[in-house]
Structure 1
Amino acid sequence: MRIFNTMAAHAIPLVPRSLIRKISRRYIAGETLCDARTRIHALHAAGFRTTVDVLGETASSSEQAESMARDYLNLVQAVGAQNEPPELSIKLTALGLHLDEDACMARVSVILREAASHGISACIDMEDTSCTQKTLDAFLNLEADGYPIGIALQAYLTRTNNDIVPLQARKSRMRICKGIYAEAKEHLVDGASMDRAAINSHFVRHVSTAIQAGSFVGIATHDAQLIDALTNWLQREQIDRSRFEFQMLLGVCEPLRDALLAQGFNVRVYVPYGYDWYGYSTRRIKENPRIAGYILSAMIRRDRTR
């Protein structure tokens, strides 16, 4: 079955957009801000925390970057009145990092300043390795300016072993994930390109040392084995639950997500919305071949019934 799922993942570009759109409804709140607010409200009512992301990849023009900035400002205005507003997830490339770094940082500062005035925090997302150093530098400057922000780190990158050290020294807020971008092998920890489980020991080490250093850590994974190892460590070390949270994507591993919440852990759900549903959905499907297998099976069944 694993081979079938992997083959299906490679065939995703051949899948009709209409079928991808149907599947995407599980992983995306919708296309509009109203859709996002509805899903966020439901998650908060169920006891979850949320992070909201405006879908969009690298801006190709200053106009596109400005449009994204306006989308974030509209989002802040819409959710700022809530008792417990969601966190923002911000991709610097969507705000023009590759076009004009100074203009990008000006846009980010405007967004963060407006967000802070509404009691809203943010997390600077980490992208591929071409952006890693620029993203870290930007975060350091924004953190020094006093904005309530965190930074995402990817455990599958070898450089994270060094990048995390100064962050721990400052007790910076971190989101630690495995990493999803297709990177050259020289950037990856031993075996990570061949076996995702090879990342686990690095992930556990980054989470545990960051928490012990005094940082608040978002533990971003859907790996049940990894979560078991970490919950055992957290309970054994009697780590206060206010010092960390588990983070999961909307629509992914919901039984595990619900079980963690039922055990009294803080759980944050990543809620994307926007018109770039196709790009986001295909990335999610490729990351989880089981979903691709389900889609291909559905297509085969549909053809047989015609």
Structure 2
Amino acid sequence: MKLKDVFISLSENQFLNQAAQKYGLKMGASSVVAGTTIEEAIEGIRELNRRGISCTVDCLGEFVSDKAEATKAKDQIIHVIEAIHDTEVDAHISLKPSQLGLDIDYAFCLENLKEIAETASRYEMFINIDMENYERLEPSFRLLEELTQNYPNIGTVIQAYFYRAQSDIERLKDYRLRIVKGAYKETNDVAYQDKMDIDDNFLRLIEYHLQNGKFTSIATHDHQIIEHVKRFVEANHIPKDKFEFQMLYGFRTELQYQLAKEGYQFCTYVPFGTDWYGYFMRRLAERPQNISLVTKQVFNKKTNIILGVAAGAFLLGRITKKK
């Protein structure tokens, strides 16, 4: 069992998710989650804005199976949109359809999204529909296409590890798109498994949308890919107002500041809320380097319980495999 697979499995564990909420952000996640309230998140956004960086805000939560919980999430997102407008920070919204009832009922989820889109439209605010795992991919694209019939200021995400990503980006080239590598565990019948294959497809998708698309958000912490993009846009005379770089809150902060200083449009993905556990585990799964961000929390007196479970599961998996 790979350590990446352990973290992804943990991200989907509801018992640990509920336990993590009780402990707040004391398990190391405070370095990558901008607090549990919108007021705390706004302070982080203001600091980034002062450095010339815009933000996209994620009210953490996903895989909701109760209508009341989905309605509560919808109301919270509307509250966040209003808070962004009232405080005049440079930010927009990212959201997950499963948080708004996609797994309960498609029509119910669509109505929740319409309410959110109506509020965002009044304030001329962009909405990004985040992509989740493969089974939710096509329903999420359908939601996007239905919503944009009346609310055009909505975009979505293309995940480079999917074989179908090239056809998806061609289908959606007239939308503002964020291009990512992908953060969920997918089977080899729908997704590339090798890092090199994913990276190659990631670059192909970025180049395609830079040349053929509306606006491209390039979401990566990989400085080699960033340097490749810099060379590509210069060689192909692509203006800087046609794309932006994106990174996650708390990751490679100095590089974020540097790119903004160099005059590139930059957007930081700012998550907040009590339902931080699944997000945090996937960030650890994405890159082994991410684990170093919480090393100090792991080896102090208040040992990180969740990471301890992950390490134990990993070691157990190795032992079982050897036997």
* TM-score, normalised via structure 1 length: 0.88
Assess if the C-alpha contact under 8 Å between 1:8 and 1:293 holds in 2: no
Q: Distance in 1 between matches of 2:133 and 2:124?
A: 30
How many angstroms does 1:58 deviate by? 1.2
Assess if the C-alpha contact under 8 Å between 1:155 and 1:206 holds in 2: yes
How many angstroms does 1:138 deviate by? 1.0
Q: Distance in 2 between matches of 1:85 and 1:266?
A: 12
Q: Distance in 2 between matches of 1:75 and 1:209?
A: 33
Is there any run of 5+ residues in structure 1 with no aligned partner, and where?
A: none
Q: Corresponding residue for 1:212?
A: 211
Mean Cα deviation higher: 292-301 or 265-274: 292-301
Q: Corresponding residue for 1:180?
A: 183
How many angstroms does 1:161 deviate by? 1.5
Q: Distance in 2 between matches of 1:208 and 1:273?
A: 31
Q: Distance in 2 between matches of 1:294 and 1:123?
A: 27
How many angstroms does 1:239 deviate by? 0.9
Q: Corresponding residue for 1:29?
A: 34
What amino acid is the match of 1:46? R
Assess if the C-alpha contact under 8 Å between 1:126 and 1:151 holds in 2: yes
Among residues 144, 163, 166, which one is paired with 1:158 in the alignment? 163
Among residues 89, 102, 106, which one is paired with 1:101 in the alignment? 106
Assess if the C-alpha contact under 8 Å between 2:178 and 2:217 holds in 1: yes
Two-structure CA RMSD over aligned residues (Å)? 2.7
Q: Corresponding residue for 1:146?
A: 151
Percent identity, aligned pairs only, is 29
Distance 1:150 1:283, change over 3 A: same
Alignment of 1:1-306 (within 5 A): 21-168=26-173, 171-189=174-192, 193=193, 195-292=194-291, 295=294, 299-300=298-299
SS at match of 1:21: coil
Is there any run of 5+ residues in structure 2 with no aligned partner, and where?
A: 303-323
Mean Cα deviation higher: 28-37 or 137-146: 137-146
How many angstroms does 1:271 deviate by? 0.4
How many angstroms does 1:9 deviate by? 6.1
Distance 1:22 1:166, change over 3 A: same
What amino acid is the match of 2:91? P
Q: Distance in 1 between matches of 2:4 and 2:103?
A: 33
- Measured against aligned partners, the alpha-carbon deviations of 1:107-156 in whole angstroms (never above 9, x if no partner) come to 10110110110121100111100011111111111122233011101011
What amino acid is the match of 1:186? D
Distance 1:293 1:268, change over 3 A: closer
